[in-house]
Amino acid sequence: MSNVKAPDTHQHISSTCITKQNQERYKTNLSFTTDRLASINIHPGMPTVITGDWNLHHNNWNSLIDKESTPTRTQEVVDWLEGQGFSLCSERDVHTRSGAGTQCDTIIDLTFANEPAIGQGVVHNHSVNPDLTLLSDHNALTFTLGDPRESVVNIAKAKYNWKDAIEEDFTKALNQELHADAVLYDTSIQQILNKQCTHATPEELDTTVRFINTCMEQAVEKAVPTHQMCSQLKPWWNNTLTTAFKEMRMARDMARAYYQHFNHESEIMTWEAKQLHKRALNLVKIAK
């Protein structure tokens, strides 16, 4: 899970974006990711977006699914989403995972947003983009968080070299930044982030988080070296790879269409799709 800060011309809107994959079960216990998600206390007033591989089949997003045959666990997840005020952002009946061989295309990658997120227009231009898929059988979900007219500062553009960072130096720099303003440290850290403090307003929490973020950014600038780009480095992606992956996807789609139309697999088309897949992988290795 990650917190996303979306800038606004009039106010600073905080929103939460949760990315997930609904694994069928864990090795340690027989629980699903959605079971853990349902145990999270999501603030009803916080704009929240949940996106990812849900691994669930339901008539709400696939009209081919019979409502009467919906598994109990799947319906419980849908009921929880509706109870929390979440609505589907994904377009209905647009497949997100390509079936291999005799498998059918499925719709399991989904995005949901709650009422505050929809009311504030947090999610824009949601779509399923197969062209962004390289070696995965899942299509990419793309969307914009926040006002698409606003420019978002990329705080990661400095590309800090964390591998060469010295932990002691960073810890020392962070400690210095935290204590540089004794009054702000006392009001933001000691009074808010302690075991005795059981209640805090959203404004107090936001102020504390901004203070910590600022201190961390300044500590990183002081103690973490930046990447030095080598003049001999070259972009490894090229036109040959673009053509290879395009041919691979076309062959895969033709083999799938043949099966869906004739209800049996074409050995020649399947073989060709596999060969093009191997060729694309080899070209990636050579290019890198």
Task: Based on the fold, state whether residues 67 and 184 are members of the same structural domain.
Answer: no
Q: Which long-range contacts (CB under 8 A, 24 or more apart) does 208-211 make?
A: 211/184
Domain end point (choices 176, 191, 223):
223
Share of the chain above pLDDT 70, in %: 83
Residue 232 lies in a domain: no
Structure tokens at 139: 């299509």
Q: Is 193 strand, coil or helix?
A: coil
Domain range for 248 = 239-287
Task: Based on the fold, state whether residues 138 and 170 are members of the same structural domain.
Answer: no
pLDDT value of residue 199 = 82
Domain end point (choices 97, 119, 145):
145
Task: Based on the fold, state whether residues 7 and 127 are members of the same structural domain.
Answer: yes
Share of the chain above pLDDT 90, in %: 26
Report the mean per-residue pLDDT for the chain: 81
> Structurally, how many domains does the chain consist of?
3
Residue 153 lies in a domain: no
Task: Based on the fold, state whether residues 9 and 111 are members of the same structural domain.
Answer: yes
Residue 11 C-beta-side C-alpha neighbours within 13 Å = 5
Task: Based on the fold, state whether residues 42 and 68 are members of the same structural domain.
Answer: yes
Identify which has the larger pLDDT, 29 or 105: 105
What would the pLDDT profile of 213-241 be if each residue is shown by its tens digit? 999 999 999 999 887 766 665 677 788 88
What would the pLDDT profile of 161-188 be if each residue is shown by its tens digit? 888 889 999 999 999 999 998 888 888 8
Strand order in the sheet with 86-88: 2-6, 13-21, 48-53, 109-114, 86-88
Please determine, for residue 57, whether its predicted confidence score (pLDDT) is greater than 70.
yes
CATH label of the domain that carries residue 114: 3.60.10.10
Q: Which long-range contacts (CB under 8 A, 24 or more apart) does 186-193 make?
A: 188/212
Q: Rounded to whole angstroms, what are the CA distances from 31 to 28, 35, 44?
A: 9, 6, 25
Task: Based on the fold, state whether residues 68 and 182 are members of the same structural domain.
Answer: no
Task: Based on the fold, state whether residues 25 and 86 are members of the same structural domain.
Answer: yes
Q: Is the pTM of this model over 0.75?
A: no
Task: Based on the fold, state whether residues 216 and 271 are members of the same structural domain.
Answer: no
Token pair 């779509």 in the structure block, residue: 127
Task: Based on the fold, state whether residues 51 and 121 are members of the same structural domain.
Answer: yes
Please determine, for residue 131, whether its predicted confidence score (pLDDT) is greater than 80.
no
Residue 194 lies in a domain: yes
Please determine, for residue 9, whether its predicted confidence score (pLDDT) is greater than 60.
no
pLDDT range class, residue 147, cuts 50, 70, 90: low
Which residues touch 279 (CB under 8 Å, ≥6 apart)? Answer: 244, 248
